[in-house]
Amino acid sequence: MSIFEIKEHMDALVKELNQHNYNYYVLAQPVISDFEFDKKLEELEDLEKQYPEYQNPDSPTQIVGGGITKEFQTVKHKWPMLSLGNTYNEQDLKDFDERIRKSIGDQFEYVCELKFDGLSISLTYENGKLERAVTRGDGTQGDDVTANAKTIRTIPKQLKGSDYPDNFEIRGEVFMHKPAFERLNKERIELGEVPYANPRNFAAGTLKMQDSAEVARRPLDCFLYFLYTDKRLYNTHWESLQAVKTWGFHICEHNTLCKNIDEVLAFIHSWQDKRSNLTYDIDGIVIKVNSYAQQHELGFTAKSPRWAIAYKYKAQEVETVLERVTYQVGRTGAVTPVANLKPVLLAGTTVKRATLHNANEIIRLDLHEGDTVLIEKGGEIIPKIIAVNTEKRKPDAKKVSYPDVCPECGSNLIRKEGEVAFYCPNDEGCPPQIVGKIQHFISRKAMNIDGLGQETIEAFYRRGLIEHISDLYTLYEKSDLLKQLDRFGERSITNMLEGIEKSKQMPFEKVLFGLGIRYVGETVAKKLAAHFNNIDSLINASFEELTSVDEIGGRIAESLIDYFKEPKHLQQIEELRNHGLQFESNHTAIEFESNKLEEKTFIISGVFERYSREELKDLIEAHGGKIVSSISAKLNYLVAGDNMGPSKLEKATKLNIPIISDDELLELIK
């Protein structure tokens, strides 16, 4: 390569790696693996050593990766949140150990910790009380996510005991357990929303949500692993870990103290396979010199400590053969491609299938029938195809093409603008959609019908006993047929029928959620039921009336209007009403305390210290005001809390809409 080409290549690497950093830290949507990123970074570092005159000041080798989002207040770190040097090579660890010995001699210990695959966070405590939570950001400054962090149960709001310092910081990692990720992702898929790729992305996306109430509904966890104080309290890192545990912090129980590098390597080897048994993801092991005095002596480079290093496990990969691609139809009609593979052992389990997400993924991989594919199970819960070995492709292999029609009922598939998924619109005639809808209807969060399970619904459908949700309420007429089913005795039938009868008392919001309208989840159903009070008002609501409801956007409004346009849906609602289901809220009408806010419209945005947004909404309505969701020139007030969205603030400012605090709102109604 010429000098010009070398410089051009280095600049291209800087640009590419900075984009990957942005994807990972800010968007929480990485597009390459950690291993690929680290290899590219190593290549850039080598080139910069050879050609220092061409080093780009924006190079990721000079700064800690990350960025600041605009939605949160930016806070400067008192102690920089540096990244760790890392390696995939055991020899590098031995070299690291040798460098330590040359600097401080042979008398030292290591602390080994699991390297959690989550989102780094720094917590500040004053007089035992949580004052601030800040993300790593660019290492120098990060986003203030205190309101959201306070919803995480394993982050103490008030410390135990009294032997902690008046002011200190503690660093840790926010993450999501795999079972919780699977459950929440399943809910997203059922609502027709794009699923998250892995628990880390879900945790990162959750921690940066604007609504802390929604964050609280998502089960995040947090391990803490490093204490920062102005005055040193302990001689070693290990001592500090034991101490902070007594203060109430969640410390990983798998940390261990190692006397030498051999014990470190043994710890790494022991977790190579055991990590798949954890309920959370780890991508390596962190090794730290134990003594604080020795850490201080070893010091730092520009971007990382010299006394610590991370050994990263390669994502577990294996090659196998794509036997065929099948297509699953969910209860909302979303058609998901699935790769059926020649069975192969990966991460301790036999893998027969891998996710393909959507039609775009098939195109990206350029999949052909019978391809030899590389599958990975790193941060992914479900294995995914990451590459195709085209050298092993047969010359006559046919391209895999996404179907035009539903594989279950033959209806033409549709794809709405701006969405990645294809859908089958035949929700009242497509078998998996029918079964899925009824299974959703009986589920715990919807109608919670005792005596009925997923398999029972499938069996009833296959036997022709049910075709619609309303058919559940006619099963008492078919008790003779029910008795003919295997493993379905008289007691089971009685329990089921009693459960069905009892479900007629479930409130309107549960019935509405149970209908399975796309994008109408549990929270949305509650808001709609509270606002419109009955199904008829909701059916007849215009787009503007729907979007005037707090947190109901255009996509949900369109979905509701489309649903209620369909005569078959209206017929089902009428039949359910005739069976005695609740289609009217039993909420008592709002008791007006005054009319001081009459004919005034409000939007509430952001997080408030003394009140929840729901409490402020009730307060406004109790004094005659009306809550709307979209900003227009007709809006009277924007009630703004911390961390409100910048787009709302900008639009309100342009339209000269008064922006008031919760205190100023109280002044209006005094």
Predicted confidence at residue 55, as pLDDT, reads 85
Residue 215: φ, ψ to 5°? -60, -40
User: What residue ranges in 195-292 does DSSP mark as E strands?
Assistant: 220-228, 256-258, 282-289
Contact indicator for 94, 261 with CB cutoff of 8 Å: yes
Compute the average pLDDT of residues 502-510: 94
Is-contact 504 515, C-beta < 8 A? no
Fold topology of 601-668 = Rossmann fold (3.40.50)
Closest residue by Cα to residue 211 from 15, 315, 72: 72
Predicted confidence at residue 26, as pLDDT, reads: 47
Contact 317, 347 (CB under 8 A): no
pLDDT of residue 213: 74
Q: Which of 115, 312, 384, 648 is catalytic?
A: 115
For residues 533-544, give the mean pLDDT: 94
* DSSP secondary structure letters along 149-195: HTT-TTS-SB-SSS-S-SEEEEEEEEEE-HHHHHHHHHHHHHTTPPP
Domain ranges in the chain are 3-54, 74-312, 317-392, 431-578, 601-668
pLDDT at 615 over 90: no
* Residues 316/322/328/333 CA torsion (nearest 10 deg): 90
Predicted local confidence at residue 205, as pLDDT: 86
Residues 131, 80: contact at Cβ < 8 Å? no
Could you say which of 3.10.20.30, 3.90.245.10, 3.30.470.30, 3.40.50.300 is the CATH number of the domain covering 74-312? 3.30.470.30
**Whether 597 contacts 620, CB under 8 Å:** yes
The residue among 270 and 83 whose pLDDT is bigger is 270
Q: Token pair of 95, please?
A: 């070299």
Indicate the pLDDT class of residue 492, thresholds 50, 70 and 90. Answer: confident
* d(C-alpha 306, C-alpha 311), whole Å: 14
What class is the 3-54 domain?
A: mainly alpha
pLDDT digits (tens, 9 = 90+) for 515-526: 999 889 888 898
CA 650 to chain centre: 27
Would you call 39 a catalytic residue per the annotation?
no
CATH number attached to the domain at 317-392:
2.40.50.140
Q: What number does CATH give the domain 431-578?
A: 1.10.150.20
10 Å Cβ neighbour count for 247?
20
pLDDT at position 27 over 70: no
Tokens describing residue 360: 């775009």
pLDDT at site 420: 80
Query: pLDDT tens-digit profile of 552-590?
Result: 888 899 999 999 999 999 999 999 999 999 999 875 545
Beta bridge partners of 258: 110
Of 485 and 354, the structure prediction assigns the larger pLDDT to 354
How does residue 301 score in pLDDT terms, banded at 50, 70 and 90? confident
* pLDDT the model gives residue 65: 52
Higher pLDDT, 399 or 419: 399
Q: For the chain, state the CA radius of gyration.
A: 29
**What distance in Å separates the CA atoms of residue 172 and residue 122, rounded to the nearest whole number?**
6
How are beta strands 349-355 and 372-377 bridged, if at all? unpaired
pLDDT of 502 strictly over 80: yes
- Whether the CB-CB separation of 93 and 265 falls below 8 Å is answered with yes
Distance in angstroms (rounded) separating the CA atoms of residues 548 and 528: 11
Half-sphere exposure for 187 (CA within 13 Å, toward CB): 16
Confidence of residue 107 (pLDDT cuts 50, 70, 90): very high
Q: How far is CA 540 from the centre of its chain?
A: 34
pLDDT at 64: 57
Q: Which residues pair with 318 in a beta bridge?
A: 375
Burial 515-528 (b: 16+ CB within 10 A, else e): bbbbbbbeebbbbb
Q: Provide the pairing of β-strand 601-605 with 626-627.
A: parallel
170-190 pLDDT tens trace: 999 999 988 888 888 887 777
- Burial class from Cβ neighbours inside 10 Å (0-12, 13-18, 19+) for residue 451 reads middle
Least trusted range by pLDDT, from 133-137, 488-492, 508-512: 488-492
User: What is the largest distance, in Å, between two alpha-carbon atoms of the chain?
Assistant: 87
H/E element, 148: helix 146-149
What angle in degrees, to the nearest 10, is found between the helix axes of 178-190 and 199-207? Answer: 80
CA distance 16 to 22: 10
pLDDT, position 29: 64
Bridging pattern class, strands 308-312 and 86-87: parallel
